[in-house]
Amino acid sequence: MVGERVQFRSEKWRQTEARIIRAAADLFLEHGFRATTVRAVARAAEVSVGRVMSVGDKDAILVACFDRWIGQLQDGTYSPLPRRASLSKRGAGTAPRASAGTGVSANATYAAAPGPPRATSAVQRHLPELFLPFLEFFAAHEDLSRDYAAAMMRVKAEPEVFNALALDLQGRLSESLISIGIDDGHARASAAALYDSYLGILFRWAATTMTLSEASDALLATIAFHTRARGPL
């Protein structure tokens, strides 16, 4: 009986925490990070300010929101809300156009980029499609993404983007690399390197004047390097 009450309270807390994250996510997308207050999140989630703070401060909540968005992008359940225009307008007009499906067209990016090698296999064309929706999301919410990059440096907890979300995406990358004849050991190592490169490119994009096209080119060049067939370790 006691165990059931504890389980009930635990589940109720998880539901409340999820409601707080959803409310914060909507407010961040609509108003931006700096204009959103903890009090506004509490009102939107219909909880007390103290309950919001028990989830974390604004930095921690923003990181949790990005974990949620990245998870949705990875499993294909993300539904974009009408987005707030970027305040800085940096890189306007440089983002690749979205394809008729989801994410940015990898083929169009390869064709438009003069520097990186062109795709030579279906896998080389498929791998950018795993990454480009994230680049597109960051570009669509440029100011919020830069605030996220800064918040990641301040929070003490380890975000899911370094844990379960990382393992999931690396698993997909590894499977694609194995499918073109790269042995299992090299595929896993290259998948981890690709994931680290992707994170590095995102943070570099958020912290510098790097454009989305330049970020895409850097990612494509990294993919081209790691999709070369290798022998056993």
Question: Tens digit of pLDDT for each residue in 58-89?
Answer: 999 999 999 999 999 988 888 876 544 443 44
Nearest to 216 by CA among 85, 121, 120, 98: 98
Quick check: is 127 in a domain? yes
pLDDT at 171: 93
pLDDT at 6: 58
pLDDT at 182: 86
- This prediction's pTM: 0.74
* Structure token pair of residue 193: 């390197």
> How far apart (Å, rounded) are the C-alpha atoms in residues 141 and 87?
10
Average of pLDDT values for 146-167? 87
> Is residue 176 very low, low, confident or very high in pLDDT (cuts 50, 70, 90)?
confident
pLDDT at 88: 40
Quote the number of domains for the chain: 1
pLDDT at 16: 95
* Structure token pair of residue 70: 């990245």
> How far apart (Å, rounded) are the C-alpha atoms in residues 95 and 79?
20
Quick check: is 61 in a domain? no
Quick check: is 117 in a domain? yes
pLDDT at 56 over 80: yes
CA separation (Å) from 37 to 31, 44, 95? Answer: 10, 11, 31
Average of pLDDT values for 211-220? 86
User: What burial class does residue 195 get, using C-beta atoms within 10 Å of its C-beta: 0-12 exposed, 13-18 middle, 19+ buried?
Assistant: buried
Quick check: is 158 in a domain? yes
3-state secondary structure 93-149: CCCCCECCCCCECHHHHHHHCCCCCCCCCHHHHHHHHHHHHHHHHHHHCHHHHHHHH
* Structure token pair of residue 51: 């309950």
pLDDT at 109 over 50: no
Full domain range(s) for residue 137: 86-226
Average of pLDDT values for 149-158? 86
Judged by average pLDDT, the poorest of 55-59, 106-110, 137-141, 145-149 is: 106-110
> How far apart (Å, rounded) are the C-alpha atoms in residues 182 and 176?
9
